Amino acid sequence: MKTKLLLMCVAAAALAYRGFAEDGAEPADRAPDKKFTIDNCVNTFNMEGAIKTDAGYQYWFADKDFLDGRTLKLSVVKPHQATHAPHTHAEDEFFFILEGEAEFHLNGQTKTGGPLTSFYCPPNSHHGLRNIGDTEMKYLVIKKYQR
Per-domain residue ranges for the chain? 2-144
Longest dimension (CA), the chain: 47
Q: What is the pTM (predicted TM-score) of this model?
A: 0.78
| Residue 44 CB neighbour total at 10 angstroms | 9
Q: pLDDT by residue (tens digit) across 35-91? A: 888 998 999 999 999 999 999 999 999 998 888 889 999 999 999 999 999 999 999
pLDDT tens figures, 87-141: 999 999 999 999 999 999 999 999 999 999 999 999 999 999 999 999 999 999 9
2-144 to CATH, choices 3.20.20.30, 3.40.50.1860, 3.40.50.720, 2.60.120.10: 2.60.120.10
CB distance 144 to 69 below 8 Å: yes
* Cα–Cα distance for residue pair 83/57, rounded to 1 Å: 9
Please state, in angstroms and rounded to a whole number, the distance separating the CA atoms of residues 86 and 108.
10
